[in-house]
């Protein structure tokens, strides 16, 4: 089972789609499905933002970036930049090519104002933020922010859109602007999902590893037996591996919800193995087989009932239409079932073969009453005195009560 789940674990994808959080029966969910069917080529809107540049000197570099974006048809669906229409506008009306000639400050602001109030460039006013309000007939104020809009292709997998995002970032990083310390960045609404998919790969393994280290440290402090702690660690590790493999077979992916559930699973599944391991150390009579059997008989039912009660509390989530609840139910159900299997079946078998010796000086029978334990833990001399006192008291109780005659 573990080998098959390891194979499935290697195929577990890292993908997050916010549309999964929308219940399928809602009108909005149906709209999204129809929109994708009718417009399958719609990409993801993005933009390059540029700050307070000397735009008269940077127009040629901005044009070069625009041309580079237009050439990346493998990752971009379309580019909507104001620079090329502005270049055509200046060339048509003023017979100047801004790709070859550097405009003066006055000419640039005058041409830009006329362009933004023209038929060709009016729609690009939304791509600018000026230091003061733009007025028709007056030179354009200094530009504080401008954007170049474009669309990514409608990628479907992480292996497609993460390299596309990095390619545009590299293009922006390799630009050569004369303005000192310029501000520029790449932004898109969809980056909230893409960045999540980009970092979840390392975050989930690191967080689960840290959770396991913390749990094992607590187990080592409380159980104080390296061998038992090692086998508890193996049980937790096998549980997580099998859960990951079955997640892939159940159609789940690594995302925010599953990442949180897997971290909680570490603390949940360690309980089953820890109870078995600790009880095994408290039983000292008999060989390993006998001690393993006594362990399961003594604590196994309680562990099983605990897992069953947890499943019962989770059962109310089984019929939920919310993606978060469905994901938590599936993962916790797998964690409980596999944790019980490794704790109640696998671990006792291992301990029956290579289990450590019990705690020194511990009781032989876990079912003994507290007064019996107290008797056995007394020193030999005190215990003998206690017995002599008990015998003397019993002899006095046997003797009939003597009544002195009344004089």
pLDDT at 12: 86
CA distance 245 to 252: 10
CATH fold of 205-354 reads Multidrug efflux transporter AcrB transmembrane fold (1.20.1640)
pTM of the model: 0.73
Number of neighbouring beta carbons within 10 Å of residue 176: 7
The 3-state secondary structure of the chain, one letter per residue: CHHHHHHHHCCCCECCCHHHHCCCCCHHHHHHHHHHHHCCCCCEEEEEEECCCCHHHHHHHHHHHHHHHHHCCCCEEEEECCHHHHHHHHHHHHCCCCCCCCCCHHHHHHHHHHHHCCCCCHHHHHHEEECCCCCCCCCCCCEEEEEEEEEECCCCCHHHHHHHHHHHHHHHHCCCCCCCCCCEEEEECCHHHHHHHHHHHHHHHHHHHHHHHHHHHHHHHHHCCHHHHHHHHHHHHHHHHHHHHHHHHCCCCECHHHHHHHHHHHHHHHHHHHHHHHHHHHCCCCCHHHHHHHHHHHHHHHHHHHHHHHHHHHHHHCCCCCHHHHHHHHHHHHHHHHHHHHHHHHHHHHHHHHCCCCCCCCCCCCCCCHHHHHHHHCCHHHHHHHHHHHHHHHHHHHCCCCCCCCC
Helices 83-94 and 55-71, interaxial angle, to 10°?
Answer: 120
pLDDT at 36: 85
Find out whether 224 and 278 touch, Cβ atoms under 8 Å: no
Kindly list the domain boundaries of the chain, sorted by start residue: 39-193, 205-354
Dihedral of alpha carbons 235, 236, 239, 241, sign: negative
Residue-level pLDDT at 110 = 93
From first to last of the 407 residues of the chain, give the pLDDT tens digit.
888 888 888 888 888 888 888 888 888 888 988 888 888 888 899 999 998 888 888 899 999 999 999 999 999 999 999 999 999 999 999 999 888 888 899 999 999 999 999 998 999 999 999 999 999 989 999 999 999 999 999 988 888 899 999 999 999 988 888 877 678 899 999 898 888 888 887 888 899 999 999 988 998 998 889 999 999 999 999 999 999 999 999 989 888 889 999 989 998 889 999 999 999 999 988 899 999 999 999 999 999 999 999 999 999 888 888 888 999 999 999 999 999 999 999 999 999 999 888 887 555 555 554 455 455 444 444 544 444 554 445 454 555 545 444 43
Given this model, what pLDDT does residue 373 score? 44
């Amino acid at each position: 089972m573990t080998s098959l789940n390891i194979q499935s674990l290697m195929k577990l994808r890292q993908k997050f789609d916010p549309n999964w959080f929308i219940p399928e029966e809602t009108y909005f969910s149906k709209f999204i499905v129809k929109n994708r069917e009718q417009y399958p080529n719609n990409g993801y809107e993005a933009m390059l933002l540029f700050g307070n540049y000397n735009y008269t000197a940077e127009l040629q570099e901005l044009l070069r970036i625009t041309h580079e974006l237009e050439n990346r048809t493998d990752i971009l669906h379309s580019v909507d930049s104001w620079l090329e229409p502005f270049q055509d506008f200046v060339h048509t009306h003023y017979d100047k090519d801004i790709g070859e000639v550097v405009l003066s400050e006055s000419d640039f602001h005058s041409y830009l104002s006329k362009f933004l109030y023209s038929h060709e460039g009016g729609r690009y006013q939304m791509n600018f933020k000026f230091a003061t309000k733009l007025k028709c007939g007056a030179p354009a104020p200094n530009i504080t922010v401008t954007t170049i809009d474009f669309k990514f292709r409608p990628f479907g997998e992480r292996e497609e859109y993460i390299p596309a995002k990095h390619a545009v970032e590299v293009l922006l990083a390799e630009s050569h602007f004369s303005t000192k310390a310029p501000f520029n960045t790449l932004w898109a609404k969809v980056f909230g999902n893409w960045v999540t998919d980009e970092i979840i790969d390392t975050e989930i393994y690191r967080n689960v590893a840290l959770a396991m280290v913390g749990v094992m440290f607590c187990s080592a402090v409380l159980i104080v037996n390296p061998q038992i702690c090692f086998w508890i660690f193996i049980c937790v590790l096998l549980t997580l591996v099998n859960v990951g493999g079955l997640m892939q077979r159940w159609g789940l992916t690594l995302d925010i919800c599953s990442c949180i559930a897997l971290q909680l699973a570490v603390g949940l599944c360690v309980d089953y193995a820890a109870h078995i391991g600790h009880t095994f150390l408290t039983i000292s009579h008999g060989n390993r087989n006998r001690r393993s059997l006594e362990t399961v008989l003594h604590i196994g039912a309680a562990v099983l009932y605990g897992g069953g009660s947890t499943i019962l509390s989770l059962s109310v989530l089984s019929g939920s239409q919310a993606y978060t609840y469905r994901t938590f139910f599936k993962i916790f159900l797998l964690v409980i079932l596999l944790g019980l299997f490794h704790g109640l079946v696998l671990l006792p078998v291992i301990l029956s073969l290579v289990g450590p010796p019990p705690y020194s000086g511990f009781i032989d029978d876990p079912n003994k009453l507290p007064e019996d334990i107290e008797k056995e833990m007394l020193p030999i001399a005190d215990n003998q005195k206690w017995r002599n006192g008990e015998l003397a008291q019993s002899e006095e109780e046997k003797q009939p009560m003597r009544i002195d005659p009344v004089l």
